Structure 1
Amino acid sequence: MPRSRSFALVLAAVAFVATPAADLVTPASARADDALTRDLDAIIGSTALAGADVGLVVRHADTGAVVYSRDGDERGQPASNGKLISSAAALDILGPDHRFRTTVAATGGERGGVLAGDLHLRGTGDPTMLAADYDALAAEVARSGVRLVRGKLVADDTWFDAVRLGTGWAWDDEPYYYNAQISALTVSPDTDYDAGSVIVRVAPGEAGRPAAVTTEPPTDYVTIAGTAVTGAPGTASSVSVERQHGTNVITVRGSVPAGGAVVTEWSTVWEPTGLVTSLFHDALARHGVRVLGGTGVGATPADARVLGEHRSMPLSQLLVPFMKLSNNMHAEILVKTVGRAVSGEGSWDAGLRAMTAKLGELGVDPAALSLRDGSGLSRMDQVSPAQLAALLVAAKREPWFRPWYDSLPVAGNSDRMVGGTLRNRMRGTPAEGNVRAKTGSLTGVSALSGYVRTADGTPLVFAMISNDTLTSAKPFEDAVAVRLAGHREGSAPPAVRVATEPLPDRQLECSWTKSC
């Protein structure tokens, strides 16, 4: 997916179309510097955005004074800017020290290494669980002395409800890891913590022979089908990987050149609980623990004896991969976790009710928005730039602000866990290393909201949401951020060039493509 271009400081090279300023709300100090208002008008009033719904709000980060507002109260789909709301609400409700807990417990008597009852593997939604962590739990069972389980291995995912996919999610996104199913028992294939998915690797063999296909973690829970072959050296790779709807059959087609690089793709699984059960059953066997009764699902009895436990990193640390890489599954797991914490119900409805109720304390009018998920993947979410800007101002007063602020992508920083989804944007401009903001992308939807410090040291927040676009709005978002970063009140304004981009056929967050 194309990324934004660099900004040449030649305003004359770009023809902006100015728009009426009747709907601007600016304090006297901002009106005294009409150049900023005029330039922001010109950027978001470009003919390239004609017909789109574009809203922008800029406020002083400390005082909250409105510097600029155009269509700020108009609601639109926020895409991943919705994660600003879900992450802030989760921090406030759960606390930055919240950790997810995964346990294995036993029922029935144990004698001579033989457990007469069942083993219960219980999850609470930890998206950071890796296959190695389940292996470590299996080792704890073995260290407890259990060698034979006469009962079942019972998977307990009852911490959350059984609804796996969010309201308003697109059916054709279901095979892709940014649209994985949500379960209280889940596993990630990597330290990006893409919960509910596996990595599929397609390696070349000899020319004309089948390609070698493996998964991470290794598992027979999914079935690899297809006709991927090894092409001639130097030919282009044409590999496609897609899970068939409603199944765990992953079809791999196309060719990979002999001597070429391994092709790596991510795929969701159908029912993450089943994948975890399979991995843990295999791990028990590796550690010498046999289960005679097969596997099942169900709640862990209250009197079960805990044999092993894994605790996740604290939420303050999880925020980094969550927000830097715009991880949808982290957002949805937090929504259900909040629901469970507040009302004992790990569902989207309960979690969103709790989060919405909290918003009034975080500067946001809960009556002025509508949320159907925590990630912004739903096409039914409705949020205005004014509400996001209000949240950004209010968050600065909260005790959890520092880890939240640090989790935002940093413009132009090439480190994935620093720059995140902004790592390739605004390089070589006053915004590089300055702007910290959350991105958001769906086809026809783009958003950028966060913090910037002007050239004369004024801290600002800004929130921009664009809907119904036929061209990428990202260059215009960047132009706004660069203009704010270079602003010096009373001085000649910096010139900003906008290099427009066509709208990709599939417009997604940078990190979701794993390639930019």
Structure 2
Amino acid sequence: MRRSPFATLLLAALVLPACLPRSARPSSPSLTSVADALLAGVEGEGALSGAIVLDAATGFPLYARHEHVRLLPASTMKVVSTSAALSALGPDFRFHTPVWLQGSVAGNLFLGELVLEASGDPSLGSWRFPETAQACEQLADALVARGIRQWFGPLRITHADEGPYGGLYGPGWAWDDAAYAFGAAPTRFAFRENVAELSVKRAEGQDCAAPVPQPLEVRYSPPLDTSTTAIFLDPAASRAGLGCTRERGTGRTRCVWRSTPGQCPRRASTRVSVEAPEALFTACLEDALTARGVWRVATPFLPPTATPTPSSPRELLLDFVSPPLSELVKVTNKESLNLYAERLGLRFTLERMGTESYTALREAFTQELHRRGIAPRLLRPVDGSGLSRYNVASARGLAEVLATSLREPYANALLESLPVAGVDGTLAGSAGAAIKGLVRAKTGTLSGQKAYVGIAERPHDTEYPRVVFALMLGNMDEQPALTTAQIFERFAEALVAAPLK
């Protein structure tokens, strides 16, 4: 592996002191010297960087380098959207999604509509929470408890089209992200995080290099229509796997099943986004009803005397209640969930602007940043998750979002949502023992871009025991002398233990 002159110098600076007599050893490198050497090294390779360290108690700058340079924040934008939602709604806020019976009940027969009012809850049906995972079973149980064993009528979901652009993707999102789970559309009605499992299987003895098309078993879980999903084969790929894209305007999904020469896997699977979460919910509810012996005829063509009218009585059957916002924010930031971040950002927008749209979101975020005293040139948010390539942020802007949040009532909820180095979330794999448990940070990654914003504890510093930091790297080489993870860990080690000057 090539080594730049910067890497050689940095290695010598770290190793040489251990070889000197104790009386001749220099004092420990300061945060300033370590950070400057790290960032000068990546800049010397053609990358861009920006960093800042603030005293958590006062916001006073303790270190800064190119802190006003604007780069792509990627998923560090989630700190903006989650802190905004917490500031407007509070950590105890919960989404409520009511389900109504609209029609008439005669004995064990229900004639009419089951009406669900979409609330924007990103966790409905999610496996991440015990109170949401059994949503279909809870609804089926509520029908049985009402004495209903037969249901003639449709399922209707209201307010589902009131989200951004009628539920399309965010501005500046890459088209080839759309089919993947992380690129699920932030629809007003979301179910099971708008994701299904796609699996493909070859027949026994089938040749990987056989001409296309060939019979493959293609399934979705939950069961969905596979007629709009096309599978193509690449038997000479450098790496095996199943990758998908979605055709714009058609809703069709095109997947390539790759295998390497000499290998012929029998099956493969991947998690894909679903553009019609109503289909996910309907399939899930049908399974739950069947398991309980409830017979449903979905046709709206009922006898005229039984057809519900707008004046038919409406009865609340069930109210789905989400986990508290503090828990939603925790999974959003620790697991970097784009759908949750978008929905929380749009719910904040609805609270502040009275509507959901990305135009309104930009205005609502701009007003929130102004309230905190953060200048527009430091941070320009366009979406809530950081998937948009139109977002622009500086290290200064990101650090000030976190620093101002520390002075607000929801501070603990936001801090507890940040991944902990060496412990959980997107920092679970951090290898540095010196920073384990002492650094919390939201990470952000896009092609060639890496960003971090968080806090570091300095247990041996009575003057500055906690600092807020942001580190941004752009235009990173695919084979740098130091990886972004190595740069972050060395920067974080200095944050925790090095003298500030």
Work out which of the residue numbers 136, 139, 154 in structure 1 matches 2:138.
Answer: 136
Task: Tell me which residue corresponds to 1:153.
Answer: 155
Query: Higher mean Cα deviation, 65-74 or 349-358?
Result: 349-358
* Superposed displacement of residue 275, structure 1: 2.8
Query: By percentage of residues, which structure has more helix?
Result: 2
Query: Higher mean Cα deviation, 395-404 or 218-227?
Result: 218-227
Task: Say whether residues 1:326 and 2:332 are aligned partners.
Answer: no
Task: Say whether residues 1:440 and 2:435 are aligned partners.
Answer: no
Query: Higher mean Cα deviation, 146-155 or 166-175?
Result: 146-155
Query: TM-score normalized by structure 1?
Result: 0.77
Q: Which runs of 5+ in 2 are unaligned?
A: 1-6, 15-26, 126-132, 208-214, 302-309
Task: Say whether residues 1:485 and 2:496 are aligned partners.
Answer: yes
- Cα distance in 1, alignment partners of residues 420 and 459 from structure 2: 17
Task: Tell me which residue corresponds to 2:281.
Answer: 276
Task: Tell me which residue corresponds to 1:12.
Answer: 11
Contact 1:52-1:468 at 8 Å conserved across structures:
yes
The 5-angstrom pairing of residues 464-479 of structure 1 reads 464-471=471-478, 472-479=483-490
Query: TM-score normalized by structure 2?
Result: 0.79
* Superposed displacement of residue 463, structure 1: 0.5
* Superposed displacement of residue 301, structure 1: 9.5
Query: Higher mean Cα deviation, 52-61 or 471-480?
Result: 471-480
SS of the residue 2:471 aligns to = strand
Contact 1:240-1:253 at 8 Å conserved across structures:
yes
SS of the residue 2:67 aligns to = coil
The 5-angstrom pairing of residues 56-455 of structure 1 reads 56-130=51-125, 132-156=134-158, 157-158=160-161, 160-161=163-164, 162-188=166-192, 195-202=193-200, 206-208=204-206, 214-220=219-225, 225-226=230-231, 238-245=240-247, 246-247=250-251, 249=253, 251=255, 253-254=257-258, 263-287=268-292, 288-293=294-299, 304-366=314-376, 368-413=378-423, 419-425=424-430, 427-454=431-458
SS of the residue 1:59 aligns to = strand
Contact 1:119-1:149 at 8 Å conserved across structures:
no
Contact 2:104-2:110 at 8 Å conserved across structures:
yes
SS of the residue 2:342 aligns to = helix
RMSD: 3.5
SS of the residue 1:45 aligns to = helix
After superposition, the C-alpha distances for 1:346-373 in whole angstroms (9 at most, x for unaligned) are 3233334333322234453346422110
Contact 2:91-2:325 at 8 Å conserved across structures:
yes
SS of the residue 1:106 aligns to = strand
After superposition, the C-alpha distances for 1:306-328 in whole angstroms (9 at most, x for unaligned) are 11221111111122221111111
After superposition, the C-alpha distances for 1:95-144 in whole angstroms (9 at most, x for unaligned) are 11121222221223322233343221222122222273123213212322
Give the structure with higher Rg (CA). 2
Q: Quick one: structure 1 residues 222 and 184, their matched pair in 2 at CA, closer, same or farther if it must change by over 3 Å?
A: farther
- Cα distance in 1, alignment partners of residues 434 and 458 from structure 2: 9
Task: Tell me which residue corresponds to 1:53.
Answer: 48
- Cα distance in 2, alignment partners of residues 138 and 354 from structure 1: 39
Task: Tell me which residue corresponds to 1:461.
Answer: 468
Q: Quick one: structure 1 residues 218 and 116, their matched pair in 2 at CA, closer, same or farther if it must change by over 3 Å?
A: closer
* Superposed displacement of residue 405, structure 1: 0.7
- Cα distance in 2, alignment partners of residues 207 and 102 from structure 1: 49
Query: Higher mean Cα deviation, 452-461 or 308-317?
Result: 452-461
- Cα distance in 1, alignment partners of residues 312 and 384 from structure 2: 31
Q: Quick one: structure 1 residues 258 and 98, their matched pair in 2 at CA, closer, same or farther if it must change by over 3 Å?
A: farther
Q: Which amino acid in the other structure matches residue 426 of structure 2?
A: T
* Superposed displacement of residue 391, structure 1: 1.8
Q: Quick one: structure 1 residues 347 and 302, their matched pair in 2 at CA, closer, same or farther if it must change by over 3 Å?
A: farther
Contact 2:50-2:395 at 8 Å conserved across structures:
yes
Across the two proteins, how many residue pairs are aligned to each other? 447
Q: Which one has more relative contact order, counting CA pairs under 8 Å at least 6 apart?
A: 2
